[in-house]
Chain A
Amino acid sequence: MNISVMANGIVDFFHPGRGERYIREAGFETVALSLGGMIADRVQGRKGAAKPKAFVAKSSFPVRLVKAPSTYYISDKYPYAGPEDVMKAAEIVKGMTGVRYFVTDSTDDELIGRLVEYFAGSGIRPLITNRTAYFSGRSLRGRFCETHDALELIERYGRDKLGFCLDIGEANLCGQDPAEILYALRDAVDAVTVRENDGMHGASYIPFTLTGAVDWGSFFRGMRGIDFDGELIFEIGTSMAAYPIPLSGDVVKQAFRMAEYFRWQIEMDRMVAKYPRRVLFGAGNMCRAYMRDYGREYPPLFTVDNDSRVWGSTFEGLEVKQPEALKELESDVAIFICITYYREIREQLLAMGLTNPIEEFNDEYPNTVHAGERLEREWSE
C-alpha cells in the first residue's frame, strides 16, 4: 500500500516552493494531483493548466494518481468538464512519468470507454469513482455509488483495464458504510481517497477532526478484509484552509502522522501474520482482543506482564510469565506489545538487551465488534 497526499490545497501551483517544503518536511514521499483547476482557469481566462504540469516536471515528488477535472454539473454558472476536457487532461497525464492512475468522476459510458482505450497499454489505469450527483442544493447517490453498477462496468472492460477509486468523503455524504463498499468491490478498488466531512457538506478534513463523523472503524475493518494493497490518498484541503497560514506546515505534519496511524491500523492483520512465532506483552483487555481475533490462527507462545500478582496465572488460555522470560526466546520470536504504553514497554525491552522483532498491537478498531460477542451469547440463550 502506498500513501500519498493530494498536492492541491497544499501547493500553490503559481509558487510551489513552500507547499513542496511542507510535504517534504512532513514525510510524504509521493503525491496525488487534481487537474480540476484547469476548467476554472479556462472559464476565468487564466492559463492554469500549465502549472500542475510544471509542478510535476520540476518537483521531486513522484505523482502516482491524477484526478481529471470534475464533470459534476451544478449549473451553467459553475465550471465543469466536458468529455473533451477530460480527454485533454488524459493527454497531459499520459505525458507524465510515474503516474499509475487517472480518476474520472464521469458516469458517461462513452467517455469511460474512450479513456479505457486511450490508456490501454500505457501503464496508467483509468478509475471510476463514487461521485454523488447534485440535486437542488444537496447530494444524491450517483451511478457508481451503487457497487453493483460500478462492478458491472468494471467487469465489462476487465479489471486490468478499469478500476475503482473509493472516495470516503463522497460515501459519507450519502451515509454509506465503507466496509460494505469495500467488501462488494474487493480487488477492483485500486485507490482510496481519505477525507473527513460531516456527512452534509463536501469538505476534506484530516480524519478524526469531527467527532464520530465517519465510521473509521468500519473503514479499517473493510480495508483489512480485502487486504488492500493499492494507493491511499489523504485529501486535507479544508484543514489547510481552516488553519492560519503560519501553522500550515504543522497541518501537513499532522496529516502524515495520521497517515502512519492509518497504515498501522489497516495493516494490522498483515503485521500479525508476518511472524511464524510470537509472544504478547500484557495480560489485559488488549491481550483478550488479540486472542479473540487472532488467537486461533496465530497463537502466542505465552504472555508476560509487569504486574507480579498475575505471574504464574492463566489469562485467555495463555500462561502469564514475568518479563524476564523473554530473554529465553529465540531471536526470531516477535513480541507484540498489547498495552497502550508502547513507548515505555519498547524502552523496557530494549533495555533488557532483546533483539527480537517488537511490534505494537492495537484493539481500538478490532475485526470483531465487542458487542457482537454479548449479542451472540444472548441469542444462544
Chain B
Amino acid sequence: MIRGIGTQTWRVIDDNDPARGFALLKETGFDCCDFSLNRYLLNTDLYNKRRSRFFEKSAEELSDYFGPHKEGAKAAGIRIHQMHMPYPIYIPGNTKEINDHLWNEVAPKSMEICAYLECPYIVIHGLKLRRYLGSEEAEWERTEEFLDTILPVAKEKGIVVCMENLYEGAAGHMTEGPCSDPYLTAERIDRINERYGSEVLGFCFDTGHANLLGIDFMRYLTVMGERIKVLHIHDNDGRADLHQLPYTFTRTRDNKPSTDWEGFIAGLREIDFDGVLSFETAPVLSAFPEEMKADALRLIAATGRYFKQKILL
C-alpha cells in the first residue's frame, strides 16, 4: 500500500512564511514532504571551506526556528515523512574545524531536529573515501564509525537512518559511489540492525543516482527488498545528476524514455513497497518560471499518482 506522495521542501517552503509553502504542497496534490534540512548547510559551501553558522544554534534555538514549519505542515495536512541530513559529513583534506563541526554538531543536531519534527526517516550520505583509502571495504569501515555516533540516538528516538546509493564523478563521467552494490549493502544493514537489536538502519533508493551508473532498478530493488524505507525519485540523462521529472529524457529517435521507469514500477510492486513516493525534484522548480511553480508541482504529483496506480496493479 503506497502511503503517500511527497516532494522536497526546497524551493517550496520559505522560512519567512512556511505555512504558505506547505499549503501550496497540499493544494498541488501532495500529502507528504521530504524536509530539506541539507539546504541549511550547502555541500557547495563546504567544499569551498565555507560554512553557515546555522548549526551552531542550540538544540532549543533550532526547535524554535522550525516551530513554524512544524505548525505549518500540520495545518496544511502535510506529513513530514522523511528528511535529508546535510552532506557530506566528512570532507578529506578540509579543515579539522569543519569536519569536527559536521560530525559532532551537525549530525547529532540533525537527529534532534528530526525527532522534533516527528519525522520517522532521515537520509544520510556515506563517506566518499574509496579513492583515498584504496578500497570500498575501507571506506565502509569509516562510514560505520560515523553510523555508530548517530544510531544510538536513532534507536532512542524511534528514527530510522537511511543510507542512500551515491555516485562519484571522474573525468567527466560518473562512477560508483557508496552503496552501489545491493548485496553488500543489504548484508551490512542486516548486520547492523542485529547488533542494535532494532531496525535503526534502512535504505533510500535514489533513481537518479542509480540511473547514472546504469544500475538495473528491478534487480536493485528486489535485492534490497523491505530494507528500502524511502525513495528519491528523479530523472536525468544518464550523464549528469539533473534531478528532473520522470520521463523527461530520451536518447533515440523513437523518443522512448531512456530511464527504465517500467523496471522501477515493477520493482516496487515486486517488493510490495508500502512507503511514500517521494520526488527529489527541486531543480524542476528552478527550471520552470516562478509563475509556473504550481503547475510544475501538479505535474510532479500527477506523476506520483500514475506510479501509485501502476504499482498497485
Contact = CB atoms under 8 A, between A and B. Distances in A.
A239 interface: no
A226 to B, nearest CB: 13
A199 B180 CA distance: 17
A111 interface: no
A177 B176 contact: yes
Given A136-B250, A372-B132, A175 B172 contact: no
Contact of B251 (A137, A147, A369): A137
Given A200-B239, A212-B170, A177 B136 contact: yes
A215 B171 CA distance: 9
Interface string B128-145: 011111111010001000
A73 B181 CA distance: 25
Given A136-B252, A215-B170, A180 B136 contact: yes
B213 to A, nearest CB: 4
B145 to A, nearest CB: 9
A364 interface: no
Interface string A46-78: 000000000000000000000000000000000
B74 interface: no
A136 B133 contact: no
Contact of B132 (A133, A137, A146, A375): A375
A132 B174 CA distance: 16
A379 to B, nearest CB: 8
Contact of B134 (A145, A200, A369): A369
Contacts of B213: 141, 174-176
Contacts of A141: 213-216, 219
A78 to B, nearest CB: 13
Interface centre among A132, A137, A179, A374 (most CB of B within 10 A): A137
Given A198-B172, A215-B175, A372-B134, A174 B215 contact: yes
A140 B238 CA distance: 10
Contact of A140 (B138, B142, B174, B216): B216
A133 B239 CA distance: 17
A371 B92 contact: yes
A136 to B, nearest CB: 5
Interface string B162-194: 000001001111111000111100000000000
Given A141-B214, A372-B134, A213 B96 contact: no
A367 interface: yes
B256 interface: yes
B260 A140 contact: yes
A381 interface: yes
Contacts of B173: 172, 175, 198-200, 213
Given A368-B134, A371-B131, A137 B252 contact: yes
A135 interface: yes
A200 B252 CA distance: 15
Nearest to A139: B214
B258 interface: yes
Interface in A199-241: 199-200, 210-213, 215, 221
A173 B181 CA distance: 16
A371 B216 contact: no
A174 B171 contact: no
A369 B214 contact: no
A183 interface: yes
Nearest to A132: B214
A138 B134 contact: no
A138 B173 CA distance: 14
Given A177-B176, A215-B175, 19 more contacts: A136-B257, A137-B250, A138-B214, A138-B251, A140-B216, A141-B216, A147-B181, A176-B175, A180-B136, A180-B176, A198-B173, A199-B171, A199-B175, A211-B171, A213-B172, A368-B134, A371-B131, A374-B92, A375-B133
24 contacts: A132-B214, A136-B260, A137-B252, A138-B214, A138-B238, A140-B214, A141-B215, A142-B216, A146-B182, A174-B215, A175-B174, A175-B176, A177-B175, A199-B171, A199-B174, A210-B171, A212-B170, A213-B171, A213-B173, A368-B134, A371-B93, A372-B134, A378-B92, A378-B99
Nearest 7 A/B pairs, CB to CB:
A137-B251, A199-B173, A212-B171, A174-B214, A175-B175, A137-B252, A148-B183
